[in-house]
Amino acid sequence: MSQARVFLLPDLGEGLTEAELVAWHVSVGDTIVVDQPIAEVETAKSAVEVPSPYAGIVTELHGKPGETLDVGKPLISVTPLFTGVAGGADADDAAPAPSPDDHAASSMSSGSGRPDATPGAASSAPAASEAAAETYREEEKAGSGNVLIGYGTPGGHGVARRTRAPKAALSVVEPVETKPVNTTEDDLSLLRTRVPGKLGAVISPLVRRMAREHGVDLGGLQGSGDSGLIMRRDVEAAISTPAVEPAETRRTPAVEPVETKTADPRTGLAVSARTPVRGVRKAVAANMARSRSEIPEATVWVDVDATALMELREGLKAKGGEAPGLLAFIARFVTAGLKKYPELNTRIETAEDGSQEIVSFDGINLGFAAQTERGLVVPSVRGAEKLSARELDAEIRRLTQVARDGKATPAELGSGTFTLNNYGVFGVDGSAAIINHPEVGILGVGRIIDKPWVVNGELAVRKVTELTLTFDHRVCDGGTAGGFLRFVADAIENPTSLLADI
């Protein structure tokens, strides 16, 4: 019996140390190929489908949906299908792979003692086994090139190459050692689980042992695998289903149990639910707590007359063109402001000896807060200083949709250098936002509403919004923060001065 290869949960990017197991795409006993998605996990930044770097039979799943797994810990164990392939398994130890005509490969030794044996099968078995093993080796070499930290497949063409061996090669798999055929209780159980009309729809020894230990009659089970193959999940379902007592022996309890809720010791109220903090919510909580504990933040704000910006946008729409969204216009003003006040586009790094450095960047990755079903995430527009308002609008829309679909990459969610937060969409005017660690500033935009405003000495009704800047006081003082905020406010009040590139 060969040793199973254990696939460890890889580093999914950005140095993440854990991931929540959302769902398995395979079960124990399933036959998988290289690059086949085996599980969906949710990191602190996105949902990811993990492909298998190995092909073979799934022998163990290391975790249950909802559990948090550490990077570098076992995720799945896979036993190779054939001997001579990376320490592959005996034919009697692995569930058979289906052949092109949907007939599963038999795990019984060839020869006259086998009911479906054919003349000459014994002499051709070694060659057939080697051909099948070669096919297996070719499939493992045909990966798509998916790169997982610590793993990888060499292909790189996007689709795994499947090479089929001749039908005879897949119909017989010979064990390394020839053993006399003994009719045992286990062999009888094996034969009883054949599907009529199929040559080798049998169960693996692992599943047979589980059934034997729990007293499950395999002859009465309907397999859920290919060609009626009985899988581990079928036996587990039979174990978990209680036997039905005869009607005359069943008793009805005199008192029905009443579900009680645990009382909270502090409030005395019943606890209605407990929700684990994990996934995106766990990452947000940790990041916000770190920001509050490490960053000495300060906040400045200003009311802004956005009437001219609103009129500019309406004018573009009236001309029949596609007008960028208001957030894209403000993003354009923010990138111009960060060029003038680069102190707010930095990061503080602390060395092991406690010394600190302010790290400046040659470029701006502008993050923006996006609300999704999985919680608040902050995708970032990379190289935002190079983009026009229209280009910023297109990228913001793309990243918002990707984030809401849960498909944003770690690089898209963890590379920002400054964050723009439009909380006005929630109907609020202002907020003392928490800085997105390890950045040093975040600009919030409130709702745009009609307010009385003095224009040229006269009172008028104008479209007014509030800008709020929260900044790390270690990297700059109030003069720099106020200068940046005033720059963005002036650009909103006089948008044509900065929007020649729209």
Task: Give the catalytic positions in this structure.
Answer: 473
Contact assessment for residue 410 and residue 43, using Cβ atoms and an 8 Å cutoff: yes
> Using the 8-state DSSP alphabet, how is residue 164 labeled?
P
3-state helix, strand, coil in the chain (%, to 5): 30, 25, 50
119: Cα within 13 Å, side-chain hemisphere: 0
Which DSSP category does 183 fall into?
-
**Cα separation, 445 vs 392, whole angstroms:** 17
Tally DSSP H helices, then E strands, for the chain: 11, 21
Q: State how far the alpha carbon of 452 is from the alpha carbons of 59, 225, 494, in Å.
A: 71, 71, 19
The two three-digit tokens of residue 224, written as one number: 């859920």
- Are 132 and 173 in contact by the 8 Å Cβ rule? The answer is yes
Residue 40 vs residues 17, 37, 379: alpha-carbon distances, Å:
16, 8, 21
Return the beta strands (E) in 201-324 as ranges: 297-305
Length of the chain: 502
Q: How many CB atoms lie within 10 A of CB 360?
A: 12
Sheet holding 47-51, edge to edge: 47-51, 37-42, 18-24, 68-70
**What own/partner pairs with CB < 8 Å and gap ≥ 24 does 288-296 have?**
288/434, 288/437, 290/437, 291/434, 291/435, 291/436, 291/437, 292/434, 294/437, 295/435, 295/437, 295/440, 295/472, 295/474, 296/472, 296/473, 296/474
Distances (CA, A) of 477 to 208, 287, 299, 300, 432: 72, 24, 11, 11, 17
Distance CA 366, CA 361 (A): 12
Cβ distance 392 to 331 under 8 Å?
A: yes
